[in-house]
């Protein structure tokens, strides 16, 4: 009889220890019904074709774009001004809303404007000079 009590005490103690160890494996916030911490920042992901375009956010340089996504993390939530310098020197400017805990993706595809070639002939319908014989042709890109 004494032996059964010892076995029961040993089994109960072992079960209690295993339960305590098992609870440690769970997230303490979930166990205690607490809310998990909310993200304070957002992320912007930018890629472009062609790659290598200069990127600024709120006047601060962030390097060059890539064909893969360039991740810009830890941006405060709110409105940010994104400026990208295109290969022809023009600026692409947009105000982007960043939300806490969210990722905003921007993809830029730059296509240069079609080329314009002016062709003139010294004589056109019997008149001389470039003003009388000028025509324009657009080349498809």
Of residues 28 and 99, the one with the higher pLDDT is 99
φ/ψ of residue 43, rounded to 5: -130, 140
Q: Does residue 84 surpass a pLDDT of 90?
A: yes
Of residues 123 and 49, the one with the higher pLDDT is 49
Instruction: Please report, for the chain, the start and end positions of each structural domain, with discontinuous segments joined by +.
Output: 2-31, 42-109, 114-141
pTM of the predicted structure, to 2 decimals: 0.56
**Would you say 89 and 110 are in contact if contact means Cβ atoms under 8 Å apart?**
no
The torsion angle over the Cα atoms of residues 45, 75, 92 and 70, rounded to 10 degrees, is -30
Give the model's pLDDT for residue 115.
83
Confidence of residue 41 (pLDDT cuts 50, 70, 90): very high
- Tell me if residue 76 falls in helix, strand or coil: coil
Confidence of residue 129 (pLDDT cuts 50, 70, 90): low
**Cα R_g (the chain), whole angstroms:** 34
> Taking the CA of residue 76 as centre, how many other CA atoms within 13 Å lie in the half-sphere pointing to its CB?
5
Domain 42-109 matching CATH 3.40.1160.10: the answer reads no
At 85-123, the pLDDT tens digits run 999 899 999 999 999 999 999 999 988 888 888 887 676
Q: Verify cis geometry, omega within 30 degrees of 0, for the bond prior to 75.
A: no
φ/ψ of residue 16, rounded to 5: -65, -40
């Amino acid at each position: 009889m004494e032996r059964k009590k010892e076995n029961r005490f040993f089994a109960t103690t072992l079960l209690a220890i295993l339960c305590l160890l098992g609870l440690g494996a769970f997230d303490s916030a979930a166990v205690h019904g607490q809310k998990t911490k909310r993200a304070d920042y957002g992320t912007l992901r930018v890629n472009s074709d062609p790659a290598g375009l200069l990127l600024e956010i709120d006047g601060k340089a962030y390097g060059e774009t890539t064909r893969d996504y360039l991740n810009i993390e830890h941006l405060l939530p709110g409105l940010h001004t994104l400026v990208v310098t295109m290969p022809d020197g023009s600026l692409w400017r947009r105000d982007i809303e960043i939300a806490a805990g969210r990722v905003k993706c921007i993809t830029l595809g730059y296509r240069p404007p079609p080329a314009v070639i002016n062709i003139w002939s010294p004589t056109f319908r019997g008149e001389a000079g470039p003003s009388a014989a000028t025509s324009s042709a657009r080349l498809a890109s």
